[in-house]
Structure 1
Amino acid sequence: MASSNSIPASTLGEIRAAQRADGLAAVLAIGTANPPHCVPQGDYPDYYFRVTQSDHLTHLKPTFAKLCRIPGVERRFFYHTEELLSAQPDMSLEARLEIVAAAAPELAASAAAKAIAEWGRTAADITHLVVTTNAGAHAPGTDVRLVSLLGLRHDVCRTALQLNGCAAGSAALRLAKDFAENNRGARVLVVCVELTVAVFRGPVESDTFDTLISQALFGDGAGAAIVAADPDARERPLFNMVAASQAVIPDTEHVPRMHLGSGGIDWNISNGLPRLAAGIIERCLLDALGDQLTTVVGGVVDWNDLFWAVHPGSGGMLERIGKALRLAPEKLAASRTVVREYGNMLGATVIFVLDEVRRRRINPEGAGAGAGLNEEWGVMIGFGPGFTVEAMLLHAAT
């Protein structure tokens, strides 16, 4: 027998309907930022051995120089400078975390302020904050500092993601989609900030090609996005977020792998990772997004009919994925541009790629024929430890 004070199912349904947005979430604005210190990739091998006082490890120099040529990177940005490294030669874990604690919120705020300015509303209108980083390990962290740095309201709902690797940006956008669609009127600020001082270390005698990959590839940056459903007349959607998924590939827990130790964050990135990604990417996309894709494209999926915002990882990763999906070279041009100009900025990278896709669609001059700038539907992909694949089906707003 029902309790006399129970709420009727019809009333619960009405309450639920009132809590949820009516439409899909959309990316409304994007902002990016990098530290001012830039090192050309061609100069980096000599720079790396000099600043780590490792010129005596001559047997590793050819290997590292080869690594720096492979990723398709032309330059990278860093918060840590030669002067900072000289001032703290031991670079203990405590010293690294202190640097991150001070610098990460400032860089994150710079990217977020650009996104908020493009959005056109005030920071006080933000209801949810999602912050990701692979650098920090402290609480309160960057999410709390952003509240005061940006002037967010004190009751903003904060979510912090740590050590999600390169998939962090895609995971944060997936969460933002859920927050926006399940909280009527929500305005979600996503911020991904990466400082590689937590990863940076000098070479050691036992280093190999695989153990030095992270030193040749990663750079610093922050990306931010505003996400909301049911935009008002002042807001201009960039990309509608149609469907999102996450998949962990069985028996791949060993690659890539990362852990926080006394010397900072240690990465194990196998040289075989691009081959692994290429071998599973098409099946992952079909399993996760196949039903939606066949509906919107009207039958058999031709990957070249879509635009692409792929976390680049490296030039080698993009080459393998392009071949696996039988993509025309220009389809991954946005990802190649980002990895060339900035390196791999871990979780922040996919937001830079999304911004580059947006820029090419708005200003196609010089983007190249057949670059997919007029395609209505697209896919965003992120990769992370596990081996984890994050995928999202996007619809470009007109």
Structure 2
Amino acid sequence: MSRINGNGTPESQRDPAQTRRIPTPGKATVLALGKAFPSQLIPQECLVEGYFRDTKCDDLSIKEKLERLCKTTTVKTRYTVMSKEILEKYPELATEGTPTIRQRLEIANPAVVEMAKEASLACIKEWGRPAQDITHIVYVTSSEIRLPGGDLYLASQLGLRNDVGRVMLYFLGCYGGVTGLRVAKDIAENNPGSRVLLTTSETTILGFRPPNKERPYDLVGAALFGDGAAAVIIGANPVKGQEYPFMELNYAVQQFLPGTHTVIDGKLTEEGINFKLGRDLPQKIEDNIEGFCKKLMGKANLKDFNELFWAVHPGGPAILNRLESTLKLTNEKLECSRRALMDYGNASSNTIFYVMDYMRGELKTGREEWGLALAFGPGITFEGVLVRCL
């Protein structure tokens, strides 16, 4: 079902010099990264015709609006679990007003775990150690609902130890990946010798529905969001000659903006998840981002935004543009975020790891030592980590 995209390298082929800086003793580091995607890849230029065919919508004004949105998102390609076969099996998904939460979960629950498994396997392969050496798992998703949760299914399918420590992070939305980094960092640093598998997996199945003029955000979602999974392994004090960290998680902060809980408003209904997105979201982020970044930078006595590298969750081009303008960043600083948005769309909690994957290639030049990993989501919640290139 999933197409693996990992960077597994046999230990014998690894370059011992790839870790250029010495990790800080006791600080969590990123030891490996893997990705996975559904098999169906959709070019953005093909989305509108397919979406209107699948939903049997013939409203030309809505179609023209979606065509405009598809151009402004800057997305070029996205992966999706949704397929012709699924719609043939569940035609009620394309029928307005039909209760379909049971059907959506029948599709989403196994799909997100399958993608999470494939991303985790790619990550473990790159790491180079046995899966049995994983001591904790942090599982992040806003796309499945069941008891037991996907963390247990994933641990079982990966063959992890039955005493592996499990943490579920459900329904955080776009900032969930960075929250996962913060939680994994705390676990790794407070449990000597631990190795934490952090997985994120998302699908848009719960939010798929026919276009409707009364729900304009559905069109934004159709033009912007994608499916996929990612996994990283986090641990402190890497084993020399066995583990090859590329990034250190130095300091983490979460912050919410009081009085903004309705700006991103999501509700689970009989028809799936309904979202409403306030037009003032980019402005709220712009108004508060500088102080938030300075709080993180202060831990390393950093002053100049342009001396850092930036791994920013690309919620959309407007957010990236506002951040770039407000902090007066040079053009290349958000290049990895823009590439991830272009290649995968906004894949919710996963996307920060697609950015980080592009970034580790860019950081091989060794120019910047310090950077920020940032994400924003419901709350409005800011999640950030001061990171160090190794």
- 1:44–1:282 distance in 2 versus 1, CA, 3 Å: same
Q: Counterparts of 1:118-267 in structure 2 under 5 Å?
A: 118-208=126-216, 210-233=217-240, 234-267=242-275
Distance in 2, matches of 1:74 and 1:317, equals 18
Distance in 1, matches of 2:215 and 2:176, equals 27
Tell me which residue corresponds to 2:66. 64
Distance in 1, matches of 2:373 and 2:177, equals 11
Counterpart of 2:91 (choices 73, 76, 89) is 89
- 1:272–1:65 distance in 2 versus 1, CA, 3 Å: farther
Shift of 1:230: 1.1
**Do the aligned partners of 2:297 and 2:386 also contact (CA within 8 Å) in 1?**
no
One-letter code aligned to 1:326: K
Shift of 1:48: 1.0
Distance in 2, matches of 1:261 and 1:284, equals 34
Q: Does 1:381 align with 2:368?
A: no
One-letter code aligned to 1:38: L
Shift of 1:22: 5.3
**Do the aligned partners of 2:282 and 2:322 also contact (CA within 8 Å) in 1?**
yes
Shift of 1:290: 4.0
Q: Counterparts of 1:320-359 in structure 2 under 5 Å?
A: 320-359=322-361
For residues 311-348 of structure 1, give each alpha carbon's deviation from its aligned partner in whole angstroms, at most 9, with x where no partner exists: 01112211111111110110000000000000000001
One-letter code aligned to 1:265: I
Distance in 2, matches of 1:316 and 1:68, equals 14
Number of aligned positions between the proteins: 360
**Do the aligned partners of 2:109 and 2:143 also contact (CA within 8 Å) in 1?**
no
Q: Does 1:41 align with 2:34?
A: no
- 1:34–1:278 distance in 2 versus 1, CA, 3 Å: same
Question: What are structure 1's unaligned runs of at least 5 residues?
Answer: 1-20, 365-372
Shift of 1:67: 1.1
One-letter code aligned to 1:253: H
Distance in 2, matches of 1:344 and 1:235, equals 31
| TM-score for both structures, normalised by structure 1 | 0.88
Q: Does 1:392 align with 2:389?
A: no
Question: What are structure 2's unaligned runs of at least 5 residues?
Answer: 1-23, 94-99
One-letter code aligned to 1:115: C
Distance in 1, matches of 2:47 and 2:279, equals 20
Tell me which residue corresponds to 1:76. 78
Distance in 2, matches of 1:392 and 1:46, equals 40
Q: Does 1:29 align with 2:36?
A: no
Distance in 2, matches of 1:395 and 1:204, equals 45
Largest Rg, 1 or 2: 1
**Partner SS state of residue 352, structure 1:** helix
Shift of 1:140: 1.3
Shift of 1:227: 0.2
Distance in 2, matches of 1:189 and 1:232, equals 16
Distance in 1, matches of 2:213 and 2:258, equals 33
**Do the aligned partners of 1:101 and 1:141 also contact (CA within 8 Å) in 2?**
no
Distance in 1, matches of 2:297 and 2:337, equals 23
Shift of 1:377: 0.4
For residues 48-70 of structure 1, give each alpha carbon's deviation from its aligned partner in whole angstroms, at most 9, with x where no partner exists: 11111112x22211111111111
Distance in 2, matches of 1:290 and 1:194, equals 30
- 1:259–1:157 distance in 2 versus 1, CA, 3 Å: same
Shift of 1:276: 2.0
Counterpart of 2:114 (choices 106, 129, 140) is 106
Which deviates more from structure 2 when the two are superposed, residues 21-30 or residues 197-206? 21-30
**Do the aligned partners of 1:361 and 1:374 also contact (CA within 8 Å) in 2?**
yes
Shift of 1:261: 1.0
Distance in 2, matches of 1:315 and 1:172, equals 24
For residues 54-93 of structure 1, give each alpha carbon's deviation from its aligned partner in whole angstroms, at most 9, with x where no partner exists: 12x2221111111111111011100111221122011311
Distance in 2, matches of 1:101 and 1:250, equals 33
Counterpart of 1:308 (choices 307, 310, 329) is 310
| TM-score for both structures, normalised by structure 2 | 0.90
Counterpart of 1:52 (choices 46, 50, 55) is 55
Which deviates more from structure 2 when the two are superposed, residues 267-276 or residues 219-228? 267-276
- 1:249–1:167 distance in 2 versus 1, CA, 3 Å: same
**Partner SS state of residue 252, structure 1:** coil
**Percent identity over paired residues:** 39
One-letter code aligned to 1:259: K
**Do the aligned partners of 2:174 and 2:375 also contact (CA within 8 Å) in 1?**
yes
Which deviates more from structure 2 when the two are superposed, residues 21-30 or residues 132-141? 21-30
One-letter code aligned to 1:48: Y
What root-mean-square deviation, in Å, do the aligned CA atoms of Structure 1 and Structure 2 show? 1.4
Distance in 2, matches of 1:218 and 1:242, equals 30
